[in-house]
Structure 1
Amino acid sequence: MSGRKTAIVVAPGRGTYGKSELGSIARLHGQRFADAIAGFDAERRDRGQPTVTELDGADRFSVATHMRGDVAAPLIYTATALDYLSIDREAYDIAATLGNSMGWYSALALGGAVSIADGFRIANAMGLNSQTHGPGGQILMQVVDDDWRPVPGLRDTLLDMVAAIDARADHALALSIDLAGMLVLAGNEEGLAALLAEAPPTPGRDPLRLAGHGPFHTPLMAGSSQKAKAELPPSLFARPALPMVDGRGHIWRRFSSDPLQMWDYSFGHQILAPYDFALSVQVAVKEFAPQAIILPGPGDTLGGAIAQALIGIEWQGMKSKADFMARQASDPILLSMGRTEQRALVTGDK
């Protein structure tokens, strides 16, 4: 009987490569994965873009540069993909992959639906394509209390307000990403201004406008979808080697998935409709019953959303932040590769 733990891998999305991650690609992967990084650099160089090595090796982190889509996406993909390749396969049996928003493109490569090299090509192209949209952006709003329990009625109140604002002339507003304990709402400037002016008090933090983010996962991204389908052909896709859970909670299985449908979803619905990250996590743990959830880098900011998704279905008896933290202290279910001590558990490095 195998001693390996069953695990699912969750690929992070935008906003995860920050000041603390600068230089981490070279530090963690520069020797072992030099050839892969050189290939990614060549892809960027051929397009007249600064290379991953140059961006990761910058003297200091620049919000104006490193948070821009065409820079953030390739950095995040590189860190995620190389972390995934660093997982100790003698210790972990990977049952499925999933991701948050842009992390879906990483999940495609981790799950084998596209190659690691083509995954970089997709992430790099989508970093540029994601900037093809009209004026607008995203706002993050918290809907749970300090113990990660839902505030009664707040989620429904916000979503009803979003629908009412979206119905107004010249206003666009919609749910962009469901992060369990937080909602990312996206729209044009008129819609975002109305939301900030009319939203009820929320716990924990004030509504946060996400720097450098467009109105992702809404129809305002139609230009991005069109460019993606024109530039990235279906021939990049094959049946996955592992099951993958998308932003609808749909499972793309190894032998029954149609590559053309995956391509259409990835550059259609995934761009233009809400991404239900919480549901994808909940479906994955129910379907594959993992003994570990591995969160590759960069960073570990997605850990809270994963935990809140688990609490939302009371996974293995966890009903609150206190329950989750107690579980992490005794028998960690979530292993973040952005944390040194947890990384060592995943890679087997001493």
Structure 2
Amino acid sequence: MKQTAVVICPGRGSYSRDELGYLARYHTDKRELLDAVDDYRRQRDQVTVTDLDALPRFSPNQHGVGENASALIYACALADYADIDRDQFEIVAVTGNSMGWYLALAAASALEQASAIALVNTMGSMMQEGLIGGQLVYPVVDAEWRPNPAAKTALFEQIGQVNRLSGCEAYLSIDLGGLVVIGANVAGIEALKATLPPVQDIYPMQLAKHAAFHTPLLRGVKERAREQFQAELFGRPQLPLIDGRGHIWQPWATDTAALYDYTLGHQVVEPFNFSAAIEVAIKEFAPDRLILLGPGSGLGAPIGQELVKQHWLGLEDKQGFKERQERDPFLLAMGLEAQRKRVVSGQWRD
């Protein structure tokens, strides 16, 4: 009997140093997909994803910039999606974090391949040209991933105080499990870094080469994107899609004009609630597994934090999540070799 699965697409930052060579390791057989991405980029005098993946060492200034990172992640994730053993898993819904929404659209066939490549590559380039502001990450859970409402309240009070400073703008960007991602202009970023209490010698952590995604600071990007892409590119998804509000776009009930408006409207300038997407995924679809596409597995912790928050499968804390993952993993990250084998090789086939 097949197991049901909700597929989760990664966002920016998932192709890092450890992922260099990901396409060469796993996807030399995906020439049609990779050639389509490479040809699109050659026509625009951009380095191909195949060449980027084959470089001898990782370079943040090459692999991390928007126009390159977005295309690399698209190629890796969609190739991983093709590798899911359909005899073992019935995919019941697709979602993604931030840029992963564009990948989810492609995986669910709401965008044809050529349109998906163009959207991902163009949005990545737009975000990088004259980088607008940045993003900071800050935790709102304790060390065992249990929600800390007081920390969340204090964080938003501090954001409010920063917004009262001259020249500062700061907004909620992404609700990311036990983390809050803040999008701000340069002055806002510096003020928050100077005033937020340090946590674990890591936070507040600024994300390298990230713009103030999902905030009003990207109004200009939204307008340019809507000039370049038309609603006719969007079709009805072949699978249910869960967006960054937790809304489900059903195959036979999707207004494609509304899907376009959300994707190149609300989704660009309003907060992306990845936590809500995961909550809806587990509660509405009750899947046997969650499958996180590669590259990387950085979303594993935020997903685990949301599962703990919802007490899903009786999970109460980080240790419980880790023990469950070791014993019988509910979350399968294709960027982790051992879990990847379970998704591709059919080890759970009944």
TM-score of the superposed pair, with normalisation by structure 2 = 0.96
SS at match of 2:332: strand
- Deviation for aligned residue 1:110: 0.9
Cα distance between partner residues in 2 of 1:133 and 1:151: 36
Any unmatched runs of 5+ in structure 1? Answer: none
Does residue 331 of the first structure (1) align with residue 317 of the second (2)? no
For the 8 Å contact 1:173–1:185, the answer to whether it is kept is yes
SS at match of 2:135: strand
Cα distance per residue 1:181-221 (max 9 Å; x no partner): 11111111111122122223435633111110111111111
Aligned to 1:302: 299
Alignment match of 2:312 (pick from 311, 315, 337): 315
Cα distance between partner residues in 1 of 2:140 and 2:206: 16
The AA in structure 2 aligned to 1:11 is: C
Change (3 A) 1:226 1:132: farther
Cα distance per residue 1:100-127 (max 9 Å; x no partner): 0000000001112112332222111111
Identity of aligned residues (%): 42
The AA in structure 1 aligned to 2:231 is: P
For the 8 Å contact 1:146–1:204, the answer to whether it is kept is no
- Deviation for aligned residue 1:130: 1.5
- Deviation for aligned residue 1:330: 2.0
How is 1:1-350 mapped onto 2 (pairs within 5 angstroms)? Answer: 3-30=1-28, 32-132=29-129, 135-203=132-200, 205-348=202-345
For the 8 Å contact 2:198–2:204, the answer to whether it is kept is no
Cα distance between partner residues in 1 of 2:345 and 2:339: 10
Cα distance between partner residues in 1 of 2:304 and 2:176: 10
Cα distance per residue 1:217-245 (max 9 Å; x no partner): 11111121112111122121101100111
SS at match of 1:97: strand
SS at match of 1:10: strand
Cα distance between partner residues in 2 of 1:201 and 1:297: 30
For the 8 Å contact 1:132–1:224, the answer to whether it is kept is no
RMSD of aligned Cα (Å)? 1.5
Cα distance per residue 1:275-306 (max 9 Å; x no partner): 11111101111000000000010011111111
Any unmatched runs of 5+ in structure 2? Answer: none
Q: Which runs of 4+ in 1 moved over 6 A?
A: none
For the 8 Å contact 2:71–2:121, the answer to whether it is kept is yes
Change (3 A) 1:135 1:11: closer
Cα distance between partner residues in 2 of 1:27 and 1:198: 43
For the 8 Å contact 1:144–1:203, the answer to whether it is kept is no
SS at match of 1:176: strand
- Deviation for aligned residue 1:53: 1.0
The AA in structure 1 aligned to 2:39 is: A
Cα distance between partner residues in 2 of 1:9 and 1:220: 30
The AA in structure 1 aligned to 2:306 is: A
Cα distance between partner residues in 1 of 2:169 and 2:51: 38
SS at match of 1:8: strand
SS at match of 2:128: coil
SS at match of 1:268: helix
